[in-house]
Amino acid sequence: MKKITLLLLLALAVILQPSAQAESKTLRWAAATDSNAPYAFYGPGNKLTGFEYEVIQAVAREMGREPVFVPNDWDGLIPGLGRGLYDCVICGIEVTPDKAQEVLFTNPYYVTYEQFVVKKGTEPVTSLEQLKGKPVGTLSQTASFNMLSKTPRVIVKTYDEEVNAYADVVNGRLFGVLLDYPIAKYYAFANPNLKFTGPPFGQISYGIAIAKGNSALATEMNAALARVIASGEMRDILSRWGLWTAMVADTFGQPEDSSLPDTEYRAFVASTAEQPSLLNRIIGYARFWPLLLEASLLTIEVSLLGMAGAVLLGFTLAIMRVYGPFPMRWLATLYIELIRGTPLLIQLLILFYGLPNIGIKLEPFVAGVLGLALNYAAYEAENYRAGLLAIPKGQMEAARALGMTQRQGLVHVVIPQSFRLVLPPVTNDFISLLKDSSLVSMVTLVDLTGAYKQIATQTFDYFGAGLLVAAFYLLIGLPFVRLARYTEQRLNPGAHSTSTKGSRFQLPFGKS
Amino acid sequence: MDSSTSLVSIQDLHKSFDQTPILKGVSFSIEEGDLVSVIGPSGCGKSTMLRCINGLETLDSGVISAAGACISRMPGAKLDAHFEKNAHILRQRVGMVFQQFNLFPHRTLLQNTMMAPVIVRGIPREDAEKTGRALLEKVGLGAHADRYPANLSGGQQQRAAIARALAMQPKVMLYDEPTSALDPELVDEVLHVMKALDAEGMTQIVVTHEMRFARDASDYIIYMEGGHIVEISDEDEIFENPKDERTRRFLRRFI
């Protein structure tokens, strides 16, 4: 899935116009919000940190620019460049000929290799050929994935999160994991159940990605990068993060030993070593309250606006389909079939990353709301159509016999009655829209699902974070279910059959 | 035929559904204040004719005029916006009562009577309410004005439907088998209302199977069969001495 969307997005990005205007004083840089240590990640206190974070700060300073962080989803990183959402991406992206066709790379800011990790007690691995017939894990869209897929008869398993891959080695699902050295160092080296084995496999370079055609920025960044390396600052940064290796020293032409103790690495290992108690974990989540609250609000906003749009458009489509003349009926049917026949995720991605191709750039929030509204309108239209058709023909006849036009009959007689009929299915749709709104995290919005990714990658507690966010979705949905029940009862004349008092409740459509 | 005194006049009305002719040239006229019953076997076209009179069905050809409004169509002519416009005017002057009442279930009886005057005529709500209450009072439902249709008997609903139609102040009232869906003991209360309207001088056309009502209350009776009017006769004459053999055969079952 991830692979397919990335390919699609890369394809979309090919023709995108880079917005080259360097807003002089700032350097807008992007990294994936769910990327992990030691790259650019959210450390304790929800603060951005990581060696890439430090590198980009140093580079920006050398350029005389103010660094501004723009979070994005991993799959959207490269297309976002084309959209001009930011100037550059620094996110452990390996320089490969394939990618160099899509973007411009600076000179490498780090070089490394693939490290093989197995369970403690396994025979040493000296070459990839030894992995024949064995399940080996890696991350999708990485150099190690390419390396493994070129090795005959290895069973390659791809993961979204490195911790999950290493966990599967420990519990025996995988023979081993092949990943970039920094990842192996941070997530496997300190684990007593795992061990490093074999020689360094391959050589990979990380480069900062810039929109194709923006060579002015590339030149400027390369110069800044060279100064950061020459001054020894790069060596300091990488040493503190425990990433100063012989290979790096050789590439940069500097001494092989670290210039500073690996304090950042030790701090990270210490923070992950102890398993906090359940109570402590729950208390630990307290610091995410502001994030969760903000994310919940965004989820609610996107869902409510999306639903409002879906109801309006869906209603129009239903009227077109039931009462419209031939071409309108046909158009409405086409729209409904088209939308229902394609995945919401793809629709969202086309809206956000595809439309800039034809000059329409939507804000992430607008794209998210619009995507949900356009998609759910198709389902709403079918609900309303069923509701309209369920009203006996005699109702419209009676209205017309009383001198009403078809329009008046619809507005005052048919629609108010079908409103009551469609309320239950529409409520269900809203609940499912609320859950589908999680897809807007794909267009850079930090909704509840976006928050989940952030929390999970900081705490490595996928279970707890998952439950927590699921509970939030449930809590948000619940009041709407209750509200719908209540309205349904109020709108049903039979429900207060014994009352002889007139209902003071006005249907939203009627005004008679 | 003197059209100056006839309130409703139908000339050479043809209507078919999917190439099946239902009305094959129907002509008659009715004078103001008359109560006319239309009888005949099922499928003879009497309901279709009634629905044509207030423009609920389009015509294939013919002329229908009622209370100063007129719709017409030449054989083979296209239906245009002009036809629908005239039909719309016609419907505002002709009231219709259906077999299944077709009250608006989401509205109280009072709101049912008020809706069309307010929406179509633009009458102020207070006036419409006053008229509505008076009409419901007249059909014996004054106490039920604020109840919903679902909570009333069939007879009460049909009387409310009459009040709703009257609220538009029609010149002619059409009834499409108004008592066929009612339990026998509820039939009289509806017929009673229609008789009362007749006494006030309302022009009414009733498609009915109630032979007793047809005979008691009608000024005259139209007998239809096979898409034609077979006989138009005085109410006593048609029952005691039908001119046509087909009428005789039909009525034999009721006597």
- Encode pLDDT of B2-52 as tens digits: 445 689 999 999 999 988 999 999 999 999 999 999 999 988 899 999 999
CA of B1: how far to CAs of B7, B64, B67, B220, B237, in Å? 12, 14, 16, 16, 22
Residue A502 pLDDT exceeds 50: no
CA of B113, closest CA in chain A: separation in Å? 10
Residue A141 pLDDT exceeds 90: no
- Cβ <8 Å between A512 and B120: no
* Superfamily of the domain at A288-496: MetI-like (1.10.3720.10)
Q: What is the structure's pLDDT at A2?
A: 47
Region A109-117: what's the mean pLDDT?
Answer: 92
For residue range B141-188, what is the model confidence (pLDDT) as tens digits?
Answer: 999 999 999 999 999 999 999 999 999 999 999 999 999 888 888 899
CA of A251: how far to CAs of A55, A246, A254, in Å? 17, 9, 8
CA of A486, closest CA in chain B: separation in Å? 17
Is residue B71 a contact partner of residue B59, using CB atoms and an 8 Å limit?
yes
Q: Which CATH architecture has domain B6-252?
A: 3-Layer(aba) Sandwich (3.40)
Q: Which residues of B touch A512 (CB under 8 A)?
A: 107, 111, 114-115, 118-119
CA of A392, closest CA in chain B: separation in Å? 9
Q: Are strands B94-97 and B35-39 parallel, antiparallel or unpaired?
A: unpaired
Q: What is the structure's pLDDT at A498?
A: 36
Residue A302's closest CA among A469, A462, A444? Answer: A444
- ipTM, two decimals, is 0.92
Task: Say yes or no: B108 contacts chain A, CB-CB below 8 A.
Answer: yes
Which residue intervals of A173-287 are DSSP H helices?
Answer: 181-187, 215-230, 233-240, 246-252, 263-273, 278-285
Q: Which residues of A touch B119 (CB under 8 A)?
A: 404, 408, 412, 512
Q: Scanning every residue of chain A, which has its alpha carbon at the shortest distance from the alpha carbon of B112? A: A512
Region A141-146: what's the mean pLDDT?
Answer: 81
CA of A501, closest CA in chain B: separation in Å? 6
Residue A494 pLDDT exceeds 70: no
Percent of chain B clearing pLDDT 90 (strictly above): 65
Q: What is the structure's pLDDT at A425?
A: 84
CA of B128, closest CA in chain A: separation in Å? 11
Which of B95, B100, B110 has the CB atom closest to A394's CB atom? B100
Indicate the length of chain B as a whole number. 255
Q: What is the structure's pLDDT at A275?
A: 62
Q: What is the structure's pLDDT at A22?
A: 45
Q: What is the structure's pLDDT at A15?
A: 41
Q: Give the whole-angstrom CA distance, residue B35 versus residue B207.
A: 11
pLDDT tier for residue A437 given thresholds of 50, 70 and 90: very high
Task: Say yes or no: B106 contacts chain A, CB-CB below 8 A.
Answer: yes
Residue A165 pLDDT exceeds 70: yes
Mutate: best of B86, B106, B158, partner A, most A CBs <10 A: B106
Region A59-70: what's the mean pLDDT?
Answer: 90
CA of B251, closest CA in chain A: separation in Å? 31
Mutate: best of A419, A421, A492, A512, partner B, most B CBs <10 A: A512
Region A273-285: what's the mean pLDDT?
Answer: 69
Tell me if A111-205 shares its fold with A288-496: no
Residue B56 pLDDT exceeds 50: yes
Joined together, the tokens standing for residue B161 give 């439907």
- Cβ <8 Å between B105 and A417: yes
**What is chain B's mean pLDDT, rounded?**
90
Q: What is the structure's pLDDT at A14?
A: 44
* DSSP 3-state of A354: helix
| Domain parsing of chain A, residue ranges | 2-106+207-231, 111-205, 288-496
pLDDT tier for residue A273 given thresholds of 50, 70 and 90: low
Q: What is the largest CA-CA distance in chain A?
A: 96
Triad A57, A59, A62: Cα angle to 5°: 110
Percent of chain A clearing pLDDT 70 (strictly above): 88
Q: What is the structure's pLDDT at A496?
A: 42
φ, ψ for residue A285, nearest 5 deg:
-70, -15
Is residue A60 a contact partner of residue A221, using CB atoms and an 8 Å limit?
no
Q: Which residues of A touch B105 (CB under 8 A)?
A: 417, 493
Q: Are strands B69-73 and B61-66 parallel, antiparallel or unpaired?
A: antiparallel
Is residue B94 a contact partner of residue B67, using CB atoms and an 8 Å limit?
yes
Residue A8 pLDDT exceeds 70: no
Residue A506 pLDDT exceeds 80: no
| Domain parsing of chain B, residue ranges | 6-252
Region A42-46: what's the mean pLDDT?
Answer: 74
For residue range A465-476, what is the model confidence (pLDDT) as tens digits?
Answer: 888 899 999 999
* DSSP 3-state of A70: strand
CA of A195: how far to CAs of A155, A201, A287, in Å? 20, 16, 34
* CA dihedral (A51, A56, A61, A67) positive or negative: negative
Residue A242, CA atoms < 13 Å, CB-side half-sphere = 18
For residue range A26-43, what is the model confidence (pLDDT) as tens digits?
Answer: 899 998 877 778 888 887
CB atoms within 10 A of CB B168: 22
3-state secondary structure A99-156: HHCCEEECCCCEEEEEEEEEECCCCCCCCHHHHCCCEEEEECCCHHHHHHHHCCCCEE
Residue B125, CA atoms < 13 Å, CB-side half-sphere = 4
Q: Which residues of B touch A507 (CB under 8 A)?
A: 106
Task: Say yes or no: B118 contacts chain A, CB-CB below 8 A.
Answer: yes
Q: What is the structure's pLDDT at A495?
A: 44
Which of B102, B120, B165 has the CB atom closest to A395's CB atom? B102
Joined together, the tokens standing for residue A394 give 């005699």
Respond yes or no on whether the N-terminal peptide bond of residue A38 is cis (omega within 30° of 0).
Answer: yes
Which of B98, B107, B150 has the CB atom closest to A494's CB atom? B150
Q: Give the whole-angstrom CA distance, residue A41 versus residue A460.
A: 13
pLDDT tier for residue A96 given thresholds of 50, 70 and 90: confident
- Report the b/e string of A178-193 with b at 16+ CB within 10 A: bbbbbbbbbbbbebee
Distance of CA A254 to the CA centre of its chain: 39
Is residue A45 a contact partner of residue A36, using CB atoms and an 8 Å limit?
no
Q: Give the whole-angstrom CA distance, residue B121 versus residue A312.
A: 29
**Residue that wins the pLDDT comparison between A356 and B197:** B197
Task: Say yes or no: B196 contacts chain A, CB-CB below 8 A.
Answer: no
Q: What is the structure's pLDDT at A235?
A: 92
Q: Which residues pair with A32 in a beta bridge?
A: A72
Q: What is the structure's pLDDT at A140?
A: 76
Joined together, the tokens standing for residue A247 give 């290979």
Q: What is the pTM of this model?
A: 0.65
Q: Give the whole-angstrom CA distance, residue A231 versus residue A313.
A: 60
Which of A395, A403, A501 has the CB atom closest to B92's CB atom? A403
- Helix H or strand E encompassing A201: strand A194-206
pLDDT tier for residue A7 given thresholds of 50, 70 and 90: low
pLDDT tier for residue A5 given thresholds of 50, 70 and 90: low
- Cβ <8 Å between A500 and B119: no
Q: Give the whole-angstrom CA distance, residue A452 versus residue A475.
A: 16
For residue range A204-259, what is the model confidence (pLDDT) as tens digits?
Answer: 899 999 988 888 898 999 999 999 998 989 999 999 998 998 898 888 888 888 88
- Cβ <8 Å between A402 and B120: yes
Q: Give the whole-angstrom CA distance, residue B98 versus residue B158.
A: 8
3-state secondary structure A450-463: HHHHHHHHHHCCHH
Q: What is the structure's pLDDT at A492?
A: 65
**What is chain A's mean pLDDT, rounded?**
83
Q: What is the structure's pLDDT at A360?
A: 81
Region A101-123: what's the mean pLDDT?
Answer: 90
3-state secondary structure chain B: CCCCCEEEEEEEEEEEECCEEEEEEEEEEEECCCEEEEECCCCCCHHHHHHHHCCCCCCCEEEEEECCEEEEECCCCCCCHHHHHHHHHHHHHEEEECCCCCCCCCCCHHHHHHHHHHHHHCCCHHHHHHHHHHHHHHCCCHHHCCCCHHHCCHHHHHHHHHHHHHCCCCCEEEEECCCCCCCHHHHHHHHHHHHHHHHCCCEEEEECCCHHHHHHHCCEEEEEECCEEEEEEEHHHHHHCCCCHHHHHHHHCCC
- CATH 3.40.190.10 describes domain A2-106+207-231: yes
Q: Scanning every residue of chain B, which has its alpha carbon at the shortest distance from the alpha carbon of A493? A: B106
Q: What is the structure's pLDDT at A24?
A: 60
- Cβ <8 Å between A512 and B111: yes
Mutate: best of B47, B148, B157, B169, partner A, most A CBs <10 A: B148
Q: Which residues of A touch B107 (CB under 8 A)?
A: 512
What CATH number should be reported for the domain whose range is A111-205?
A: 3.40.190.10
Mutate: best of B104, B129, B131, B164, partner A, most A CBs <10 A: B104
